[in-house]
DNA sequence: TGAATGGTTCGGTCTAGACCGAACTATGCG
DNA sequence: CGCATAGTTCGGTCTAGACCGAACCATTCA
């Protein structure tokens, strides 16, 4: 019984932290699976599934079933526009609000994003790989160059050949507004960090804490 | 513990029907009082007061105390931009969603908005008054011209002289995306419609149902 | 075919917050 | 002054919906 279009309904849909985080993750433009989105939002898959159904019904995202994966994307440019406007506004107001505490600082430095490395160090890694010619990026996606493969071999990093996940994928995170590396290669590198003891995941959080020497070794390993 | 700016918080603020209606009402650009906003949203003043405090704290609206009135306005262009984007999106989705039933049709034709006439007939009235030179619109607001006053006198319409409400006010409704006339004059005209039996309010709804002859008389009365 | 993996559905708990009645404060009017 | 009006604050109720454990489909792989 209201006058205009139902702006409250749409806003409420965006107004839940879980859903908002998923939408923000989707703003990279890439299609993500339900599981990845759950991870990104820090909630269980069942909860995420429910959220995604509602977002789909509300016309904010579209679902694309491929095999046993459900890929989600922002529905259209209008939806993206709304999110963009919201992010701009939130960023402006946010400066005064969110004082980045010490804990938060670690989170920005290095954290787990699904199964790969995000945060400052993740972005830096991506940049070095790109600059060093280990990755080649074009419209078709990202591929690991022979030079990159050689480096991984030299380090003793083995890529999971069974998984069907793409080798390399770009993943945008909003703390940096920059891309970092996802996909099988991203995963293998993070596993290597654990295996070498360069860093380890902080219990009950998404933070990856590097040791002093680990941090240096990590940087050196991927410098060209 | 989230990555980007807190878009969920802002969206949640807009995502309540009561608050959303108030914000939509404020999109006319005019400053409205707490009471008017409560009426517009169809909620009690205490509830509205709480909502407005939260909107103010969230930086979506600005409060301006003048005497015992509290005037509210959209905070800035960024906020307006977000609302605009949301309204656009909602309007687009809305077409598919809300199948305009017969009931809905009556609502679009003529309904009560606070205490004045909205909907197609409200917009048409406003246009005729404007075109006929009964209203003069400029930056300072809307004023009733002598010509307009004469017509009201001829029809026997008396304006409430006690009320402190503005004589004329523009009121934007989103079913038409056009303005209609609010304020004391708008109210007096609707009262006149009731008094003459041209139309009456449907019980339990905001619809104003005109009779066949009433509709014709109404149109004739305000044609110049 | 069974096992592993990705998603969904169901059922139950729990909390945030919307709502309103009532009492209170502040401003203006006669 | 007292009265009326505009807003706010407080306290209590009540519901929507977020969350997760567990069970259930669907798809792929060995």
Cross-chain residue pair B173–A4, CB shorter than 8 Å: yes
Confidence bin at B99 (pLDDT 50/70/90): very low
Q: Is the CB of A17 under 7 A from strand D?
A: yes
Q: What is the mean pLDDT of residues B120-128?
A: 84
A71 close to A32: Cβ distance less than 8 angstroms: yes
Does the pLDDT of residue B165 top 70, yes or no?
A: no
CATH code for the structural domain at B7-77: 1.10.10.10
Averaged confidence pLDDT in chain B: 78
Give the whole-angstrom CA distance, residue A185 versus residue A83. 30
Nearest nucleotide relative to A47: CA against C1': D19
- pLDDT tens profile A6-23: 889 999 999 998 899 899
B217 against B3, higher pLDDT: B217
Confidence bin at A2 (pLDDT 50/70/90): very low
Q: What is the mean pLDDT of residues A176-180?
A: 57
Assigned CATH topology for domain A7-97:
Arc Repressor Mutant, subunit A (1.10.10)
B127 phi and psi angles, rounded to 5 deg: -65, -40
pLDDT at B174: 44
Residues 127-166 of A with CB under 7 A from strand D: 162, 164
Of B139, B99, B124, the closest CA to residue B180 belongs to: B124
A122 phi and psi angles, rounded to 5 deg: -65, -40
Tell me the shortest Cα–Cα distance from B7 to chain A, in angstroms.
6
Angle between helices B45-57 and B34-41 (to 10 degrees): 110
pLDDT at B29: 63
Tell me the shortest Cα–Cα distance from A122 to chain B, in angstroms.
14
| Chain C positions with a protein C-beta closer than 7 Å | 5-10, 17-23, 26-28
H or E element that contains B214: helix B212-221
Tell me the shortest Cα–Cα distance from B195 to chain A, in angstroms.
25
pLDDT at B207: 76
Tell me the shortest Cα–Cα distance from B114 to chain A, in angstroms.
12
A193 against A104, higher pLDDT: A193
pLDDT at A170: 65
Of A1, A12, A81, the CB nearest to B15: A12
Cross-chain residue pair B6–A87, CB shorter than 8 Å: no
Does the pLDDT of residue B138 top 80, yes or no?
A: no
- pLDDT tens profile A36-95: 888 888 888 889 998 999 999 888 998 877 777 888 888 887 888 888 788 878 877 764
Q: What is the mean pLDDT of residues B11-36?
A: 86
Does the pLDDT of residue B11 top 60, yes or no?
A: yes
Does the pLDDT of residue A212 top 80, yes or no?
A: yes
Does the pLDDT of residue A174 top 70, yes or no?
A: no
Confidence bin at B14 (pLDDT 50/70/90): very high
Smallest CA–C1' distance to C7, residue: A49
Can you give the length of chain A in residues? 224
Does the pLDDT of residue B209 top 80, yes or no?
A: yes
Does the pLDDT of residue A204 top 70, yes or no?
A: no
pLDDT at B221: 92
Taking the domains of chain B in order of start, what are their residue ranges?
A: 7-77, 102-221
A172 phi and psi angles, rounded to 5 deg: -95, 130
Chain A hits for B23, CB-CB cut-off 8 Å, are: 7
Give the whole-angstrom CA distance, residue B164 versus residue A91. 41
Q: Is the CB of A97 under 7 A from strand D?
A: no
pLDDT at B90: 85
Rounded to whole angstroms, the distance from the CA of residue A179 to the C1' of nucleotide C19 is: 45
Task: Take residue A95 and report the two structure tokens written for it.
Answer: 């400066």
Give the whole-angstrom CA distance, residue A56 versus residue A19. 11
Chain B hits for A107, CB-CB cut-off 8 Å, are: 1
β-pairing verdict for B199-201 and A111-113: unpaired
Does the pLDDT of residue B96 top 60, yes or no?
A: no
Chain B hits for A175, CB-CB cut-off 8 Å, are: 3-4
Quote the ipTM score. 0.55
- pLDDT tens profile A119-173: 778 878 988 898 888 988 764 567 788 898 999 999 988 887 655 556 776 665 5
pLDDT at B117: 84
Cross-chain residue pair A15–B17, CB shorter than 8 Å: no
- pLDDT tens profile B111-121: 776 577 877 78
Chain A touched by B100 (CB under 8 Å) = no
Cross-chain residue pair A81–B85, CB shorter than 8 Å: yes
- Residue A114's SS3 state is coil
Confidence bin at B1 (pLDDT 50/70/90): very low
Q: What is the mean pLDDT of residues B144-163?
A: 84
Q: What is the mean pLDDT of residues B12-31?
A: 85
Cross-chain residue pair B78–A86, CB shorter than 8 Å: no
Nearest nucleotide relative to B35: CA against C1': D6
Does the pLDDT of residue B133 top 70, yes or no?
A: yes
pLDDT at A96: 42
Does the pLDDT of residue B68 top 70, yes or no?
A: yes
Task: Take residue A174 and report the two structure tokens written for it.
Answer: 């909003």
The neighbour count for residue A112, using CB atoms within 10 Å, is 18
């Amino acid at each position: 019984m209201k006058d205009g279009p139902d702006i409250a309904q749409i806003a409420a849909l965006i107004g839940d932290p879980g859903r908002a985080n998923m939408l923000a993750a989707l703003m990279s433009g890439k299609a993500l699976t339900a599981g990845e989105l759950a991870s990104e939002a820090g909630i269980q898959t069942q909860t995420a599934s429910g959220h995604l159904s509602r977002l789909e019904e509300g016309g904010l995202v579209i679902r694309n079933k491929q095999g046993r994966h459900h890929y989600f994307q922002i529905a259209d440019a209008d939806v993206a526009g709304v999110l963009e406007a919201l992010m701009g506004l939130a960023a402006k107001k946010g400066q005064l609000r969110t004082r980045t505490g010490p804990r938060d600082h670690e989170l920005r430095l290095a954290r787990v994003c699904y199964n790969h490395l995000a945060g400052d160090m993740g972005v830096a890694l991506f940049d070095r790989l790109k600059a060093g010619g280990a990755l080649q990026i074009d419209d078709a996606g990202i591929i690991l160059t022979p030079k990159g493969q050689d480096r991984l071999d030299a380090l003793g990093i083995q890529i999971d050949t069974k998984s069907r996940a793409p080798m390399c994928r770009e993943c945008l995170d909003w703390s940096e507004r920059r891309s970092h590396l996802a996909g099988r290669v991203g995963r293998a590198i993070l596993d290597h960090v654990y295996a070498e003891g360069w860093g380890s995941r902080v219990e009950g959080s998404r933070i990856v804490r590097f040791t002093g020497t680990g941090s240096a070794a990590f940087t050196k390993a991927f410098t060209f």
